Chains A and B, each alone.
Chain A
């Protein structure tokens, strides 16, 4: 393989870490859902349902257990009757259609009783170190009820409605790492499920998808004992929805080394593929098949949000225009994938990033090992012996994107991030017209770097960082970030997070794409719905299906 590879540099951070491009991210085969499914399939994981205590309306509790790498994990589900008036996907919600926890092991009845009193309360309850993840979901009322009726009448749900909605339930939060009393992530760090980012959370969501399938069939059967079951094609296309808001954005800013590792893996994968001198026929065929499927997928991706809809339609048009050029002849030449990248360099970011995802697909053997390098358990370190002069030079060299911003201009500091008193919901305010900026969250990385640069001007060049920090301790974290940038080049979003042009939706999409989400459906510039695991193998076929082949999902019909 190595004889067929040249050395290709990574795309620079100044290109890939800009919000506009991050906001056009697509899931790739390195995404966390994809790598989880590969692990489940490789281990021939078996899902069992040891508890199913549901009344005819589908209210009650259930347990789904799965063995993974020698450990058993159990999704515990509590399904409740919810007044539609109280159905909100926001953090301020206090009740949900269903609440879940991922339990470390197999729960006893006493565990279920304890958790039944706590898990439905979510943030207001208390969990223990036996629980690894806490989550909740609301039904897509229209589609859930439609599917119950259809199955009870012995038929499948309407294909158009199924494709429009794409899920029966959508999660509105998936909490891990010690939140609300659950186990710290350190508990599972030495297990395979803990050695990959968000794998335990993704496992939870995949099992919630199984629950949603079983629940709709259960309610249909209660209405008619001869009710149909969801067809395998319907089940596979039905993912699990998710509603995500501002809370996801601070995570990206607050975990610079982790984010670096995610992007570094993707960019390394791309560089490896671009370095392929000659593509094999099978690789070209696979790419062209993915390309065709991606076109169908994009055609079926239609949302109410004007900005996203316009971008998606441009993507659709550009893919159609590329289709006539990307053929066997074009791809049979030297360095075919570099030619593809060059060809789409002037096209929209949506198209460019969609093609990046497509190009990685035929090359699992070349890139899949990179998923093992996407985790990080450390924080940026301080180098206290560094001189002020050296620090100044790093800022000058690597942070021009931050220091060139004029923060005195009202538009460059128009927004501020804060936490509301009400259920501690993350929110974004307008600095010049709303109260609360004195309690701003420190997500203004660019501004902090600029302030640091100013402060360093008065300092002796030969002084050390250790000495500087004695009189300027407020700069400890930003100096750590600046110093880390040389070793971790993709650690910073290279944009102004408080400018009036900052759209949180771009950050949300970036992170959700790494999760493996698709069908981004923005509800505003700071809130989006997505679909997870759409097209992924279900539990029944995880051992037999091609675990890698479910990107750009398209409904296969009956």
Chain B
């Protein structure tokens, strides 16, 4: 069963919030993931990792031009990387990134948002990212539909369910501001 990109984006956003991310980071994660052209099974598993890891504050040190992010989590390090390079600072080094497969999604979004092309080099547990001006014109949403692996789909739905408010009689009767039948 295939899903539309918009459907997957909405589900990842809800799953992200349900997993404990602030809305802003969940939305960025969703946008980054659906920007990956054809996610592999490893990419889907990386998404699950990103959602499952407990969110910690970003551990970063910076000099004038360089940003070092330690124990990097993609949900915070991905945006921090594109922000840093989008602000025209020199280079970002990510240490021990938890879901490196997803970095390409953040960089794709960043390329559209900031008109940049990125260069990544991996050395051991480090990924170094630098940028140069080069606007990409590809619309990230004009991509093929997605097949979500069954176990990942279940995991996303389970996280997303944490954002739903359980039913009560009062909410059923008044929460939507409408009655239960409409015969006229």
Contact = CB atoms under 8 A, between A and B. Distances in A.
A89 B178 CA distance: 9
A160 interface: no
B175 interface: yes
Interface stretch (B22-30, B41-49, B95-103): B22-30
A428 B176 CA distance: 7
A179 B164 contact: no
Contacts, number: 186
Given A178-B4, A439-B163, A504-B177, A422 B172 contact: yes
Nearest to A525: B177
Interface string A38-75: 00000000000000000000000000000000000000
Given A88-B181, A421-B164, A473 B22 contact: yes
B25 A428 contact: no
A181 B113 CA distance: 27
B175 to A, nearest CB: 3
A184 B79 contact: no
B170 interface: yes
A179 B177 contact: no
Contacts of A183: 4
A467 interface: yes
A429 interface: yes
Contacts of B177: 245-246, 428, 504, 523-527
A527 B62 CA distance: 52
B64 to A, nearest CB: 12
A246 B161 CA distance: 20
Interface string A140-181: 111000000000000000000000010000000000011111
A458 to B, nearest CB: 16
B164 A439 contact: yes
B3 A181 contact: yes
Interface stretch (A311-319, A377-385, A390-398, A531-539): A377-385
B183 A421 contact: no
Interface in A117-150: 126, 128-129, 138, 140-142
A382 B88 CA distance: 13
B175 A178 contact: no
Contacts of A186: 5, 139, 141-143
Nearest to A380: B113
A85 B167 contact: no
B180 interface: yes
A436 interface: yes
B161 to A, nearest CB: 8
Contact of A435 (B1, B23, B168, B182): B168
Interface size class of B (residues with CB under 8 A): 35 or more
Contacts of A475: 24
B118 interface: no
Contact of A474 (B3, B24, B60, B163): B24
Nearest to A182: B4
Nearest to A504: B177
A454 interface: no
A377 B76 contact: no
A144 B180 CA distance: 21
A55 to B, nearest CB: 22
A421 B165 contact: yes
A476 B28 CA distance: 9
A134 to B, nearest CB: 11
A420 interface: yes
B82 to A, nearest CB: 8
A490 B145 CA distance: 33
B87 interface: yes
B176 to A, nearest CB: 5
**Most B CB atoms within 10 A — which of A184, A382, A435, A476?**
A184
Given A88-B182, A89-B178, A476-B25, 6 more contacts: A85-B181, A178-B4, A420-B164, A421-B164, A471-B58, A475-B24
Interface of A: 84-85, 87-92, 126, 128-129, 138, 140-142, 165, 177-187, 189, 243, 245-246, 377, 379, 381-382, 384-385, 418-422, 424-429, 434-436, 439, 442, 464-467, 469-471, 473-478, 504, 523-527
5 A-B pairs with least C-beta separation: A178-B4, A178-B6, A427-B175, A526-B177, A436-B165
11 contacts: A91-B176, A245-B176, A384-B114, A425-B176, A428-B175, A465-B87, A467-B62, A470-B83, A473-B24, A473-B25, A476-B28
Interface of B: 1-7, 22-25, 27-28, 31, 57-58, 60, 62, 76, 79-80, 82-84, 86-89, 113-114, 139, 141-143, 145, 161-168, 170-172, 175-184
